[in-house]
Amino acid sequence: MNLILQAEFIAPDIKKFVIAAPLIARKAKPGQFVILRVWEKGERIPITIVNGDPENGTVTLIIQGLGKTTRQMNMLNSGDYVHDLVGPLGQATHIENFGLAVCVSGGVGTAEALPIARALKEAGNTVIAIIGAREKALVICEAEMRTICDEVIITTDDGSYCTHGLVTDVLKTVIARNTKPDFVLAVGPLPMMRAVSEMTRPFSIKTMVSLNSIMVDGTGMCGGCRATVDGKTVFVCVDGPEFDGHQVNFDEIARRQKQFANQEKISAEIINKEPQKVLHQCRLAKAINEISKS
């Protein structure tokens, strides 16, 4: 069980956690993730390590409440425990000095792009961040991105903040500039990553996307996270999560992500109807831990 040291909402339904996990913090590299479980009968879900702090022995996670598990997690506060936390999983992002690197992110994907942007900058790249969000309130990690990147361009679907439009509209103008990007990273919803990949393809700009397939173990044991890249089956949890966006079969992943849509609805109803029960489920961990200590 891992103690939550800090927890705060940074946007509606998006919560930032600092969690004690000294071993994971020691090893975490940009692009890697953890798998967590909120309670005894909880699902195992993958969440990106936004920051690993070996000195303080903590990892930072930023979680968007979508379905039962993420919303249940977001009910927890400092002093509560995460039932299980395992990692760091997946391959670290391949970082090198490409020249001009563009990090395109949407929604909570901006949190996932943050450590990669930092690493790209440290490797000597000129880094442009393009951040997209539905509306102003959902723009996250802006200040952090601004301290890291050479340029930050923000766009909102409804025009409530900065430019009005989609990240691809911005990317188009960036590609049209005098210096073409040498590397593009896209993290966010699948349709966005796909659109970015389609946009960079004609220019042969190396484009990596971070696939978020449904996972169970995260160790390559179940094959549930499999995707097709360049005609070959890969396991996203061990071979990824980042792959060449020009080679990914997006249709297949999009379908596989919806495999459990019906069951997800049932779980969501439980949390809508009985939030107290769900909160109790995950608080039990804290109680047990305290009893076992005394």
Partner 1 sequence: MSSNTLSKKERLAITRQPMPEQPPQVRNRNFNEVNLGFDAETAVIEAQRCLDCPRPTCIDGCPVRIKIPDFIRLIAQKDFIGAARKIKEDNLLPSVCGRVCPQEEQCEKTCVLHGKFQPVSIGRLERFVADYEREHGQAQVKVNTPPNGKKVAIVGSGPAGLACASDLVQWGYDVTVFEALHEFGGVLIYGIPEFRLPKAILKYEIENLQKMGVRFEANFIVGKTMTIDELFEVGGFDAVFLGVGAGLPWFLNIPGENLMGVYSANEFLTRVNLMRAYEFPESDTPVKIGKQVVVVGGGNTAMDAVRTAKRLGAETATIVYRRSEVEMPARIEEVHHAKEEGIIFRTLTNPIEFLSDENGWVKAARCLQMELGEPGPDGRRRPIPVKGSEFEIPTDLVVVAIGNGSNPLISRTTPDLQCNKWGNILTNGNNGRTSKRGVFAGGDIVTGGATVILAMGAGREAARSIDEYLKTGIWDSEPESALKK
Ligand X SMILES: Cc1cc2nc3c(=O)[nH]c(=O)nc-3n(C[C@H](O)[C@H](O)[C@H](O)COP(=O)(O)OP(=O)(O)OC[C@H]3O[C@@H](n4cnc5c(N)ncnc54)[C@H](O)[C@@H]3O)c2cc1C
- Contacts (CB under 6 A) with ligand X, residues 217-246: 241
Dist CA 202 CA 52 (whole Å): 36
Quickly list DSSP for 32-48: -EEEEESSTTPPPEEEE
CB of 232 to partner 1, least distance (A): 10
Residue among 30, 202, 15 at smallest CA distance from 119? 30
CB of 141 to partner 1, least distance (A): 26
254 binds ligand FES (CB under 6 A): no
CB of 146 to ligand X, least distance (A): 20
- Contacts (CB under 8 A) with partner 1, residues 42-61: 42-44
- Contacts (CB under 8 A) with partner 1, residues 203-242: 216-217, 219-224, 226-228, 233, 238
Name the one residue in this structure whose structure tokens are 């929604």. Answer: 107
Q: Spell out the residues 6+ positions from residue 69 whose beta carbon is closer than 8 angstroms to its own.
A: 38, 42, 43, 45
- 23 sits in the region (left: phi over 0; alpha: psi -120 to 50; else beta) called alpha
222 binds ligand FES (CB under 6 A): yes
Report the residue from 17, 81, 98, 235 that binds ligand FES according to the rule CB under 6 A. Answer: 235
CB of 32 or CB of 168, closer to ligand X: 32
Per partner kind, with CB cut-offs from 5 to 8 A, the member of ligand X, partner 1, ligand FES, none near residue 62 is ligand X
Alpha carbon separation from 159 to 11, 63, 136, 191, 239 (Å, rounded): 17, 24, 8, 20, 37
CB of 217 to ligand FES, least distance (A): 4
CB of 69 to ligand X, least distance (A): 3
CB of 48 to ligand X, least distance (A): 3
Name the one residue in this structure whose structure tokens are 């969501």. Answer: 268
| 3-class state of residue 11 by DSSP | strand
Chain centroid to CA 105: 10
Residue among 95, 53, 62 at smallest CA distance from 183? 95
12 binds ligand FES (CB under 6 A): no
Residue among 177, 209, 183 at smallest CA distance from 125? 183
CB neighbourhood size of 214 (10 A): 16
92 binds ligand X (CB under 6 A): no
CB of 161 or CB of 260, closer to partner 1: 260
| 3-class state of residue 23 by DSSP | helix
Report the residue from 99, 159, 220, 275 that binds ligand FES according to the rule CB under 6 A. Answer: 220
> Which chain residues interact with partner 1 by CB under 8 A?
23-24, 27, 37, 41-44, 68-69, 83-89, 216-217, 219-224, 226-228, 233, 238, 252, 255-256, 258-260, 263-264, 266-267, 270
> Which chain residues interact with ligand FES by CB under 6 A?
215-218, 220-225, 235, 237
> Which chain residues interact with ligand X by CB under 6 A?
33, 43, 45-48, 62-64, 66-70, 108, 111-112, 212-215, 241, 257, 264, 267-268
